[in-house]
């Protein structure tokens, strides 16, 4: 397994351990949460379809929980919540395409 594939697989394992993408980025020494998310998606795409469906389901539950927590925050502006919800919508779309 190449170093890139190993790092991608580690992103998948760490995410399954409920780690945030920012935390995963730090652990894997990649540039930010978006890079860690991309590694997670690449690894997901390498797995068999049945396994992918289970992984997608677990990730959807995490995204649903994040959505609920985000909507309950009163320390963020309405604009910031809306921005983060757009990002969440984008993450869901990419997850369905994986």
Q: Half-sphere exposure of residue 84, counting CA atoms within 13 Å on the CB side?
A: 15
pTM: 0.88
Whose CA is closest to 58, among 95, 88, 30, 84? 95
Q: Which domain holds residue 47?
A: 3-97
Q: Convert the pLDDT of each residue in 63-81 to its tens digit.
A: 999 999 999 999 999 999 9
> What's the CA gap between 88 and 78, in Å, rounded?
15
Q: Rounded to whole angstroms, what are the CA distances from 55 to 13, 63, 92?
A: 10, 12, 13
* Structural tokens at position 75: 């320390």
Count of structural domains within the chain: 1
Q: Convert the pLDDT of each residue in 8-47 to its tens digit.
A: 999 999 999 999 999 999 999 999 999 999 999 999 999 9
């Amino acid at each position: 397994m190449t170093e890139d594939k190993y790092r991608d697989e580690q992103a998948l394992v760490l995410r399954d351990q409920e780690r945030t993408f920012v935390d995963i980025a730090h652990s894997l020494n990649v540039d930010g949460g978006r890079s860690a998310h991309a590694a997670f998606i690449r690894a997901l795409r390498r797995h068999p379809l049945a396994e992918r469906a289970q992984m997608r389901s677990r990730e959807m539950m995490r995204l649903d929980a994040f959505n609920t927590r985000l909507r309950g925050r009163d320390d963020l502006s309405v604009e910031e919540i809306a921005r983060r919800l757009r990002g969440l919508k984008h993450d869901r779309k990419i997850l369905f395409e994986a």
